[in-house]
Amino acid sequence: MNSLWKKIITQTILNKRKTNEKFSDYKLAKGYRELKILITRYFKDFILITAGIFSASFGFKGFLLTNHFIDGGATGISLLISAITKIPLPLLLVCINIPFIFLGYKTVGKVFAIKTALAISGLALCVATVHFPDVTQDNLLVSIFGGFFLGAGIGLSVRGGAVIDGTEVLAIYLSRKFGTTLGDIIIIINILIFSAAAYFLSVEIALYSMITYLSASKTLDFIVEGIDEYTGVTIISSHSEEIRQMIINVMGRGVTVYSGKKGFGKSGETQNVDIIYTVITRLEVNKLNTEIQKIESNAFVVMNSIKDTKGGMIKKRSLSH
């Protein structure tokens, strides 16, 4: 590793102002590894956001614009204003989302705001310059597949650490300020948007636009949360060792064991117990319950949905019999 690379690493990763300061080989190797991780992550984010921009643009120009259908959120507001006033959609996409970018800077962070600004600018540029053919004139197909490609674009951008629709940033901000849920705020915003669409455009367009929104939201959930839909399972049992062995050898999953206490009865009597935690897919829930019942029918089992996972033995390992 030459001296130039040492200076880059020490300035970028170790955040040292004095470039002539000497560092150990361990610190330089660690800094170089962190630099590679950052470059790889930003490259992946760039690919995801770029794919999201082209997917959303295809949903706009290949389906929604020709039929004046809209979506929910900031994109829906942009489409609605464009249909009413004939203002170019690319300009509206930027102008409508500018407040959300500043709000994202305050709510989420600087890097998120920069990525979002670049993603929205890229979307506006793509919509303005790239030609996409009109795929179909069938209203139902337009609403379904227009929503599909738009939702996929938003989801890919979220995977890349940005958004091309600022409504969720507003929902996060309002939920923190007023203590409401994100879902409630998004529903209220979309009710107002679709009501305006019914008034200014037509009831039929508003109804088709609701289908577009449902298609986009389901696709967004699929892209962001993935196909596996993992479930976290906590098991408290007096036969914890047998259950641990079953999860490893029968289910083919990894486990985490916590040392805890269980309490019961009016006197609050407690006993030491090993608490088992594992992560499985929703398709394995029934099998796990059956195997637990074979060991102890009264075992206390708590399950909760997991949006995403990283690291560990998530993928099922092959079992040798």
| pLDDT at residue 287, as a whole number | 87
Residues of the chain with pLDDT under 70: 1-25, 28, 179-183, 226-229, 264-269, 307-321
| pLDDT at residue 39, as a whole number | 86
Q: What is the mean pLDDT of the chain?
A: 82
Residue 37 token pair: 């991780």
Q: Which residues touch 171 (CB under 8 Å, ≥6 apart)?
A: 182, 185, 186, 189
> How would you write the chain as a 3-class SS string?
CCHHHHHHHHHHCCCCCCCCCCCCHHHHHHHHHHHHHHHHHHHHHHHHHHHHHHHHHHHHHHHHHHHCCCCCHHHHHHHHHHHHHCCCHHHHHHHHHHHHHHHHHHHCCHHHHHHHHHHHHHHHHHHHHCCCCCCCCCHHHHHHHHHHHHHHHHHHHHHCCCCCCCHHHHHHHHHHHHCCCHHHHHHHHHHHHHHHHHHHCCHHHHHHHHHHHHHHHHHHHHHHHCCCCEEEEEEECCCHHHHHHHHHHHHCCCEEEEEEEEEECCCCEEEEEEEEEEEEEHHHHHHHHHHHHHHCCCCEEEEEECCCCCCCCCCCCCCCC
Q: What is the pLDDT of residues 20-58, one digit of tens each?
A: 556 666 776 777 777 788 888 889 999 999 999 999 999
Residue extent(s) of CATH 3.30.70.120 domains in the chain: 230-305
| pLDDT at residue 314, as a whole number | 53
| pLDDT at residue 46, as a whole number | 94
Residue 179 token pair: 């203590």
Contact indicator for 122, 149 with CB cutoff of 8 Å: no
Residue 11 token pair: 């300035």
| pLDDT at residue 110, as a whole number | 87
| pLDDT at residue 17, as a whole number | 46
Residue 159 token pair: 């995977």
Contact indicator for 273, 238 with CB cutoff of 8 Å: yes
| pLDDT at residue 1, as a whole number | 46
User: Of 59, 5, 58, which Cα lies nearest the Cα of 35?
Assistant: 5
- Domain 230-305: CATH architecture, name and number where available: 2-Layer Sandwich (3.30)
| pLDDT at residue 318, as a whole number | 46
Determine how many CB atoms are found less than 10 A away from the CB of residue 175: 16
Angle separating helix axes 203-225 and 182-200, nearest 10 degrees: 150
